[in-house]
A and B are shown apart, each in its own frame.
Chain A
């Protein structure tokens, strides 16, 4: 409880000092803001990242922490490919497919070996990273931009993990599996262009 109070106080302090909204988002602030919003404004990114967190929570330890640690690193590889202009075929369909596959894994309550889950997530991380990385060269401040989208992606994972914690209750498991199904359907909608 004491650590929680300290942590909350620290977070409050960090949030309190940084939010000067009166100015246009140029330079470091603009770069961070653009990067942070990039995954959030893309619903295909959002649902796929939440699905990663949900699946991690569903799989339990060590997947619940391995995926959020490994994902940014593999995503950075995809991002580097985007930055270097290395073409990756069907990036947007790949992102939509990630929502279908990851949502489907949650919906079917799939519990494969961790190495398999890590490989599946890693492959899709490259697609997501490539999509973010292609925007990096035009960012106001590239490092701030990359920090922004990496942090936003991580926070989406945390959201998914938080939702995935509902597995502790039988009804929660049903809710999560339904949520996974909804994510998979949404991914199908993105892939077919319906959404």
Chain B
């Protein structure tokens, strides 16, 4: 494994130890860290981000430079848009995206580059727009949103590298497809629950 990939995997491992459930996000945690952990601690966001990362890794990152360029831009747009946030329930959209992307991972077709870019754009925009942070001061809010932005980039990046590294052997490719089916199945179940809750 080359140095770049080792660094990416290590980054992912180093980022994970921060998940200390003993503390609330408001107490004893700086706003940047609070924002960084937000995508990780919201399950719907987490599986969607992992799904898009696995998809891009499965479809080969070198082929999908368009998606890698579009993704951070839409995250920035989504985070800025939270300032003008109108309450929109995006959970259904995020879960639908996770389910769809999970199915694509499970089926593993060779997707056109534009499709991957669209999936990345939709995911980035939906998750970032759904990550509005409440804060008392402007500096705190900006710090938190910066943390969210970094988290929204790190999580799928690690997943993408994981999928890219683990695709040389057959069992590795199968494992990625199984992960995709798990994501799709879980998202589908929660969508069914939301549908049931929405029924009069």
Query: If A7-B166, A65-B174 touch, does A143 touch B196 (CB 8 Å cutoff)?
Result: no
**B-chain residues with CB within 8 Å of residue A18 when the two chains form the complex:** 16, 19
Q: Cβ of B19 and Cβ of A68 under 8 Å apart? A: no
Q: Which residue of A lies closest to B91 (CB)?
A: A143
Instruction: Fill in one digit per residue for A46-90: 1 if any B CB lies within 8 Å of its CB, else 0.
Output: 000000000000000000010011101101110110011100000
C-alpha spacing A113/B103, complex, angstroms? 24
Q: Cβ of A154 and Cβ of B178 under 8 Å apart? A: yes
C-alpha spacing A175/B21, complex, angstroms? 44
Q: Does B38 contact A (CB under 8 A)?
A: no
Query: If A22-B22, A83-B193, A143-B190 touch, does A6 touch B9 (CB 8 Å cutoff)?
Result: yes
Q: Cβ of A80 and Cβ of B165 under 8 Å apart? A: no
- What's the nearest-Cβ distance from chain A to residue B117, in Å? 26
Indicate which residue in B9, B172, B185 contacts A76 across the interface (CB closer than 8 Å): B185
C-alpha spacing A84/B197, complex, angstroms? 9
Indicate which residue in A17, A73, A84 contacts B184 across the interface (CB closer than 8 Å): A73
Q: Does A189 contact B (CB under 8 A)?
A: no
- What's the nearest-Cβ distance from chain B to residue A119, in Å? 18
C-alpha spacing A10/B5, complex, angstroms? 12
Instruction: Fill in one digit per residue for A1-37: 1 if any B CB lies within 8 Å of its CB, else 0.
Output: 0110011011001101110101100011100000000
Q: Does A150 contact B (CB under 8 A)?
A: yes
Choose, from B40-48, B124-132, B133-141, B144-152, the stretch at the interface. Answer: B40-48
Q: Which residue of A lies closest to B174 (CB)?
A: A65
**A-chain residues with CB within 8 Å of residue B19 when the two chains form the complex:** 17-18
Indicate which residue in B13, B172, B182 contacts A72 across the interface (CB closer than 8 Å): B182
If over half of B's interface residues share one DSSP class (helix, strand or loop), that class is named, otherwise mixed; here it is helix
Indicate which residue in B1, B95, B106, B182 contacts A3 across the interface (CB closer than 8 Å): B1
Q: Does B181 contact A (CB under 8 A)?
A: yes
C-alpha spacing A41/B95, complex, angstroms? 28
Assign chain B's interface to a size class: 35 or more
**B-chain residues with CB within 8 Å of residue A84 when the two chains form the complex:** 192, 195-196
**B-chain residues with CB within 8 Å of residue A103 when the two chains form the complex:** none
**B-chain residues with CB within 8 Å of residue A69 when the two chains form the complex:** 106, 174, 177-178, 181
Choose, from A92-100, A104-112, A133-141, A179-187, the stretch at the interface. Answer: A133-141
**A-chain residues with CB within 8 Å of residue B44 when the two chains form the complex:** 143
**B-chain residues with CB within 8 Å of residue A3 when the two chains form the complex:** 1, 165-166, 168-169, 172
Q: Cβ of A133 and Cβ of B196 under 8 Å apart? A: no
C-alpha spacing A72/B179, complex, angstroms? 10
**B-chain residues with CB within 8 Å of residue A68 when the two chains form the complex:** 174, 178, 181
- What's the nearest-Cβ distance from chain B to residue A35, in Å? 9
- What's the nearest-Cβ distance from chain A to residue B47, in Å? 7
Q: Does A40 contact B (CB under 8 A)?
A: no
Given contacts A7-B166, A16-B17, 16 further A-B contacts (CB under 8 A): A3-B165, A6-B1, A6-B165, A10-B9, A13-B12, A20-B20, A22-B22, A69-B106, A76-B189, A83-B192, A136-B193, A143-B44, A143-B186, A143-B187, A146-B185, A150-B182
11 interchain pairs (CB within 8 A)?
A: A3-B172, A9-B13, A10-B12, A69-B174, A70-B181, A75-B185, A76-B186, A83-B196, A136-B193, A143-B190, A154-B178
